[in-house]
Structure 1
Amino acid sequence: MAYNFSADEIFEMAKQIERNGVIFYRQAADSIEAAKEKSFLLGLSAMEESHERIFEQMQKELAGQEKESQVFDPMEEAVLYLKALADTRIFFKKETPKNNMKEILKSAIEAEKESIVFYLGMKEMVKGEVGKKRVDGIIKEEMSHIRLLSGKLMENK
């Protein structure tokens, strides 16, 4: 069965992915002893929290039809499905490398790449150009994470 999700539902997933990222970066920071690296990871955690707020604001700006689900869901299980999908796809049960900044950065870059691929796939399920443009906004936010993480990884080589 093919699913078509609304932009509103995509934003619910995006917010969950960001919450998962907050947990990932906080756990990584807890495993690092160097103050500078710990601070960087906590900064990334704060960025994930900020992105969740950005996605929340973008979601509030959705027009009526964009909020409508494209899935028949009389039991309102779509959001639970989307949460499970987000939880099991991005930042989920990844072994946070302990006390190894280089490995933490590599793992984070991989998770950010996965999130972009995830959003590109989900974009195809969103009806309407306005909804697709909003998903593009999420993708651009995630790309900015990769640039930041890659720059830090280059510093640690």
Structure 2
Amino acid sequence: MSYDYNADDVFEMAEQIERNGAVFYRKAAADIKDPDAKNFLSDLATMEDNHEKTFSSMRKKLTAAEKTSTVFDPGGEAGSYLKALADTRIFFEKEIDTQSLQAILKAAILAEKDSIVFYLGMKDLVPEGLGQSRLDGIIKEEMSHINLLSRRLIATK
């Protein structure tokens, strides 16, 4: 049995992934000693907060059809499932040397790449009538993060 998601489901996951990313960057900022790196990581946490707001705003603009539930869920368990899926796919607990900005940046780039792969996979599970094309906005935002992180990683070498 296949399960189709709608754009609303994916935006809900995207918001949770951004919250998880903000926690990741704040923890890394708290652990690192270098003041410049600490500021950069704090800025990244703020960017994740802003991405969450962007995705929330994009989500509010979805049509009723793009929010149509694809499963019978009287107990509201789908929301818990989506949160768990988001929590375990991208910014989950990993062993990272949070004293090394290079290690943090490499882990962050990997997480952003994982998020893009995740959203591309989710795009295949969202029928066009349920907002498939809306996911391109999420993917574009995540790609901009990889660009920023990669530039900083190159600058630290």
Q: Same fold (TM over 0.5)?
A: yes
Look up the SS of the partner of 2:139 in the other structure. Answer: helix
Name 2:44's counterpart in structure 1: 44
Instruction: For residue 146 of structure 1, report the CA deviation from its aligned partner.
Output: 0.3
- Paired with 1:72 and 1:130, the residues of 2 have a C-alpha distance of 16
- Paired with 2:20 and 2:41, the residues of 1 have a C-alpha distance of 14
Instruction: For residue 42 of structure 1, report the CA deviation from its aligned partner.
Output: 0.4
Q: TM-score, normalised by structure 2?
A: 0.96
Name 1:134's counterpart in structure 2: 134
- Paired with 2:80 and 2:130, the residues of 1 have a C-alpha distance of 24
Is the contact made by 1:16 and 1:87 (CA closer than 8 Å) also made in structure 2? yes
Is the contact made by 1:24 and 1:96 (CA closer than 8 Å) also made in structure 2? no
Look up the SS of the partner of 2:72 in the other structure. Answer: coil
Gaps of 5+ in 1: none
- Paired with 1:72 and 1:117, the residues of 2 have a C-alpha distance of 28
Q: Over aligned residue pairs, what C-alpha RMSD do you find?
A: 1.1
The worse-fitting range, judged by mean Cα deviation, of 24-33 and 66-75 is 66-75
> Given residue 71 of structure 2, which amino acid in structure 1 is its aligned partner?
V
Equivalent residue runs for 1:29-108 within 5 Å: 29-108=29-108
Is the contact made by 1:27 and 1:96 (CA closer than 8 Å) also made in structure 2? no
Aligned length: 157
Moved over 3 A (4+): none
Aligned identity (percent) is: 58
> Given residue 85 of structure 2, which amino acid in structure 1 is its aligned partner?
L
Q: 1:75 to 1:13 in 2, by over 3 A?
A: same
Instruction: For residue 129 of structure 1, report the CA deviation from its aligned partner.
Output: 5.6
> Given residue 53 of structure 1, which amino acid in structure 2 is its aligned partner?
K
> Given residue 10 of structure 2, which amino acid in structure 1 is its aligned partner?
I
Look up the SS of the partner of 1:134 in the other structure. Answer: helix
Is the contact made by 2:126 and 2:132 (CA closer than 8 Å) also made in structure 1? yes
- Paired with 1:15 and 1:112, the residues of 2 have a C-alpha distance of 14
Q: TM-score, normalised by structure 1?
A: 0.96
Q: 1:8 to 1:125 in 2, by over 3 A?
A: same
